[in-house]
C-alpha cells in the first residue's frame, strides 16, 4: 500500500528539516481574549484563500502501545489566485516534520500551530497541485470525549485496545494536519489508509476498499474511501475488536448500504437496538429528502464515548438503550421512545455534513436543526402530539444568558442553547409558516439548495424567509443574535386587549397565534402598545403554546 512507503519515508527523514517560527506581523489589533492564533484558525486568511482543497490522502499508523500516531497527508489543491504560502494546522504535541512537493523538501514556517508551507509548484491559476505533509506525535488525549476532543485510548471490557478520535470544536488538526476551517471541504473526498495492530480493525468514513496484512510489521492497513466532500471534523478513526453486520435500505435514492460495526461481545444487543437506524433514515428522508451520501454508505460504529456525527461513520456509545444514556432529555416522556444518539447523530448527516457551516460561529445551523430532527423523528413515528410535547419539554434546558451565534472569524462557537433553544426557534418558525407541508418542503429544499455545500447562517435564514414568504429577519436577530426570550405583555380592559413585545430587540414584530374566549386568531404585536378591539371584555386570553415566548398579564388577574 502507498501508505507503507509513505510511513517508512517519514520515519527515515524526520530529523533533517528545520522549521522556523514566523515573525509576528502585528497585523492584529485584537480584543483581549482573542489571540492571533484564533484569527489564523478562524478566518479565511490569504494563505488559505488562494487555494481550493480538492482531496486528502491520509496515511496513518496508529500505535495504541505508545499512544502515538504518525504518517503523511497528500493535500491536493486547485489554484484560485496568485500563490502564497499554504496554511495547514496541526496542534501540539503533534508536529509536522516535513513537507514535500515535486520530490523536493519545502520550507516551512510556523505561527503557533499554523504551518505556512512555501510551495514549489508552478501554481498556475486553475491548475491542480499536491503537497505531501509528514507528521508524528502523541496527540492530545481526550478525557471527556466528545466534549473535550482528541484521541480516546482505552480498553474494552475484555481488555482489548479500543481507540477513537472525536474532535468537534477543538478541530481535526488535534490529530492530523489539514486545512482546519469549515469553509473549504475536499471536493473529491478523502482516502484513508490506517495501519493498526493486526488483531484490531479500523473503521473510518466511507467505504472499505481493501485490507492488507503487513506480516513483517504485525499490522493491518485498512483503506477507507469517501468520494463526497467531507467536513474535516467528521473525519475519524475507530480502532478495536469490531464485528460487522449490515442491511440494505430501499430509500428515496435507491439502495442504501447500512453497515454496523460493534464490539464483538455487543453483537446481539446491537442487532436489536440498531433496528432504529433504518427507521431513522426513513423518517429523515421524509422530512429532509434523500440521505446525502448514498455513494459513501451509512454506518453506525461503536465508540468508547457517547457519540458523534462523523460523516457516513456515525459513532455510537449510548449503551444500546433508548433515551440519552437512558434518560429523557426533555423530561416530558417521549425522550425514552427513541435512541437519542442514533437519531440525533444521524440527523446531522443532513444538517452538519450535507449543509455545513463555513464558520463555527454559525454552528447553530448544525445543532438547532438536528435538535429539531429529534422531534421530527417522533412526529413521523409517534404523531404530532408526542413530538410537540418533547419539543416543549426541551425548553427546560436553555439558559438564555448568551447568544446562539458565536463570534465570526475567530473560531468561537455560540452558547450551547443552540441545541434546545435552537430547536424551539425552528418550531416557532414552523408555526409562522403555518403549513406542515410547506414546512417540510422548506426543510427538503434547504438540503437540495445547499447540497454538499458550506454555508453562512444568513444564507440559510434568507432561504427559509424567501420560501416562507415571511420577513423573518427580526425573528432570527432576536433568537440567534440576542440571548433574551421575547415576552408578550398584555393588558385586558373592557372591550379591548392591549399587547406589546417586551424583552426584545426594537424591531421585533413576530406575529403570534392567540386564543381569545375560545377563538383562535393571529395578532402582530410590536414593541409599542397596540390595541385589539373586542365586542366584550375577554374572559380568557391564551397564547399558542408552540411558540417559544414568555408572557406577562400586566394586571395579573
Which residues here bind Zn ion, judged by CB under 5 A?
370
Q: Which is nearer to Zn ion, 370 or 478 (CB)?
A: 370
Q: Which is nearer to Zn ion, 101 or 370 (CB)?
A: 370
The least distance separating Zn ion from the CB of residue 348, rounded to whole angstroms, comes to 6
CB of 192 within 8 A of CB of 208?
no
The least distance separating Zn ion from the CB of residue 368, rounded to whole angstroms, comes to 10
The least distance separating Zn ion from the CB of residue 419, rounded to whole angstroms, comes to 7
Q: Which is nearer to Zn ion, 370 or 394 (CB)?
A: 370
Report the distance separating Cα 368 and Cα 376, nearest Å.
12
Report the distance separating Cα 474 and Cα 461, nearest Å.
11
Report the distance separating Cα 84 and Cα 47, nearest Å.
6
Q: Which is nearer to Zn ion, 114 or 415 (CB)?
A: 415
431-456: string of b/e by CB count within 10 Å (b at 16+)? bbbeeeeebbebbbbbbeebebebbb
The least distance separating Zn ion from the CB of residue 367, rounded to whole angstroms, comes to 5
Grid cell of 347 as nine digits: 440527523
CB of 371 within 8 A of CB of 343?
no
The least distance separating Zn ion from the CB of residue 260, rounded to whole angstroms, comes to 20
Q: Which is nearer to Zn ion, 228 or 370 (CB)?
A: 370
Q: Which is nearer to Zn ion, 77 or 305 (CB)?
A: 305
Q: Which is nearer to Zn ion, 234 or 525 (CB)?
A: 234
The least distance separating Zn ion from the CB of residue 394, rounded to whole angstroms, comes to 13
Looking at residue 1, the DSSP 8-state letter turns out to be -
The least distance separating Zn ion from the CB of residue 488, rounded to whole angstroms, comes to 30
What is the Cα 250 distance to its own chain's centre?
A: 26
Report the distance separating Cα 227 and Cα 7, nearest Å.
24
Torsion region of 400: left, alpha or beta (phi above 0 gives left; psi -120 to 50 gives alpha): left
Q: Which is nearer to Zn ion, 57 or 370 (CB)?
A: 370
CA distances from 160 to 195, 268, 304 (A): 17, 19, 12
| CA-angle at 91, arms to 89 and 93, nearest 5° | 145
The least distance separating Zn ion from the CB of residue 309, rounded to whole angstroms, comes to 6
CB of 354 within 8 A of CB of 292?
yes
Q: Which is nearer to Zn ion, 261 or 324 (CB)?
A: 324
Q: HEC string of 2-60?
A: HHHHHHHHHHHHHHHCCCEECCCCCCCCCCCCCCHHHHHHHCCCHHHHCEEEEEEEEEE
The least distance separating Zn ion from the CB of residue 422, rounded to whole angstroms, comes to 10
Q: Which is nearer to Zn ion, 197 or 234 (CB)?
A: 234
The least distance separating Zn ion from the CB of residue 351, rounded to whole angstroms, comes to 9
Residue reference for cell 417521549: 334
Q: Which is nearer to Zn ion, 113 or 372 (CB)?
A: 372
Question: Residue 311: how many CA atoms within 13 Å on its side-chain side?
Answer: 30
The least distance separating Zn ion from the CB of residue 347, rounded to whole angstroms, comes to 8
Burial (CB count within 10 angstroms: exposed 0-12, middle 13-18, buried 19+), residue 13: middle
Burial (CB count within 10 angstroms: exposed 0-12, middle 13-18, buried 19+), residue 524: exposed
The least distance separating Zn ion from the CB of residue 417, rounded to whole angstroms, comes to 13
Q: Which of 499, 512, 522 is nearest to 545 (CA)?
A: 512
Q: Which is nearer to Zn ion, 273 or 370 (CB)?
A: 370
Residue 306: other Cβ atoms inside 10 A? 20
Helix residue ranges, H only, 383-511: 384-393, 420-433, 436-449, 457-468, 473-481
Q: Which is nearer to Zn ion, 204 or 370 (CB)?
A: 370
Question: Residue 300: how many CA atoms within 13 Å on its side-chain side?
Answer: 32
Q: Which of 228, 224, 226 is nearest to 239 (CA)?
A: 224
Coil, strand, or helix at residue 69?
strand
The least distance separating Zn ion from the CB of residue 99, rounded to whole angstroms, comes to 34
Bond into 209 cis (ω within 30):
no
The least distance separating Zn ion from the CB of residue 429, rounded to whole angstroms, comes to 19
| Helices then strands, each counted (H, E), the chain | 12, 30
Q: Which is nearer to Zn ion, 132 or 370 (CB)?
A: 370
Amino acid at each position: 500500500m502507498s501508505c507503507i512507503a509513505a510511513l517508512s519515508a517519514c520515519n527515515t527523514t524526520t530529523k533533517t528539516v528545520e522549521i522556523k517560527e514566523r515573525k509576528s506581523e502585528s497585523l492584529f489589533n485584537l480584543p483581549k481574549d482573542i489571540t492571533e492564533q484564533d484569527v489564523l484558525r478562524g478566518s479565511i486568511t490569504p494563505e488559505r484563500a488562494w487555494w481550493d482543497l480538492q482531496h486528502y490522502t491520509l496515511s496513518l499508523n496508529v500505535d495504541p502501545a505508545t499512544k502515538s500516531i504518525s504518517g503523511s497527508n497528500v493535500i491536493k489543491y486547485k489554484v484560485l489566485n496568485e500563490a502564497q504560502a499554504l496554511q495547514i494546522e496541526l496542534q501540539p504535541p503533534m508536529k509536522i516534520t516535513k513537507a514535500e512537493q515535486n520530490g523536493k523538501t519545502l520550507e516551512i514556517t510556523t505561527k503557533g500551530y499554523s504551518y505556512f508551507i512555501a510551495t514549489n509548484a508552478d501554481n498556475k491559476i486553475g491548475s491542480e497541485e499536491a503537497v505531501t505533509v509528514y507528521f508524528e506525535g502523541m496527540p492530545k488525549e481526550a478525557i471527556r470525549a466528545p466534549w473535550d476532543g482528541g484521541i480516546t485510548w482505552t480498553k474494552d471490557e475484555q481488555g482489548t485496545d479500543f481507540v477513537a478520535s472525536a474532535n468537534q470544536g477543538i478541530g481535526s488538526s488535534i490529530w492530523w494536519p489539514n486545512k482546519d476551517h469549515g469553509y473549504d471541504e475536499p471536493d473529491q473526498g478523502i482516502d484513508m489508509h490506517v495501519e493498526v495492530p493486526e488483531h484490531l480493525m479500523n473503521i473510518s468514513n466511507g467505504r472499505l476498499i481493501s485490507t492488507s496484512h503487513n506480516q513483517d510489521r504485525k499490522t493491518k492497513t485498512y483503506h477507507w474511501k469517501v468520494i463526497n466532500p467531507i467536513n474535516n471534523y467528521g473525519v475519524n478513526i475507530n480502532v478495536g475488536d469490531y464485528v460487522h453486520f449490515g442491511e440494505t435500505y430501499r430509500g428515496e435514492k435507491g439502495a442504501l448500504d447500512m453497515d454496523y460495526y460493534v464490539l464483538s461481545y455487543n453483537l446481539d444487543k446491537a442487532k436489536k437496538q440498531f433496528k432504529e437506524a433504518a427507521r431513522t433514515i426513513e423518517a429523515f428522508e421524509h422530512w429532509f429528502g434523500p440521505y446525502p451520501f448514498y455513494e459513501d454508505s451509512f454506518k453506525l460504529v461503536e465508540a468508547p464515548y457517547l457519540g458523534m456525527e462523523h460523516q457516513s461513520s456515525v459513532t455510537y456509545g449510548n449503551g444500546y438503550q433508548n433515551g440519552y444514556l437512558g434518560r429523557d432529555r426533555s423530561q416530558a416522556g417521549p425522550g425514552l421512545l427513541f435512541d437519542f444518539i442514533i437519531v440525533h447523530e444521524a440527523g446531522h448527516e443532513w444538517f452538519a455534513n450535507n449543509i455545513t457551516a463555513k464558520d463555527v460561529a454559525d454552528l447553530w445551523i448544525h445543532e438547532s436543526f438536528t435538535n429539531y430532527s429529534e422531534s421530527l423523528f417522533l412526529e413521523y413515528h409517534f404523531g404530532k402530539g408526542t413530538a410537540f410535547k418533547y419539543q416543549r419539554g426541551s425548553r427546560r434546558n436553555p439558559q438564555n444568558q448568551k447568544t446562539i451565534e458565536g463570534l465570526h472569524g475567530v473560531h468561537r462557537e455560540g452558547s450551547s442553547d443552540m441545541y434546545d433553544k435552537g430547536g424551539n426557534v425552528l418550531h416557532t418558525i414552523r408555526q409562522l409558516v403555518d403549513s406542515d407541508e410547506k414546512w417540510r418542503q422548506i426543510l427538503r429544499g434547504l438540503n437540495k439548495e445547499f447540497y454538499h455545500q458550506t454555508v453562512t447562517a444568513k444564507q440559510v435564514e434568507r432561504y427559509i424567509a424567501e420560501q416562507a414568504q415571511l420577513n423573518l429577519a427580526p425573528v432570527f436577530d432576536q433568537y440567534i443574535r440576542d440571548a433574551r426570550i421575547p415576552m408578550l405583555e398584555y393588558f385586558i380592559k373592557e372591550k379591548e386587549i392591549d399587547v406589546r413585545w417586551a424583552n426584545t430587540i426594537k424591531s421585533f414584530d413576530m406575529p403570534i397565534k392567540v386564543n381569545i374566549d375560545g377563538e383562535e386568531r393571529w395578532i402582530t404585536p410590536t414593541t409599542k402598545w397596540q390595541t385589539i378591539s373586542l365586542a366584550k371584555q375577554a374572559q380568557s386570553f391564551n397564547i399558542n403554546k408552540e411558540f417559544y415566548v414568555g408572557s406577562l398579564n400586566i394586571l395579573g388577574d
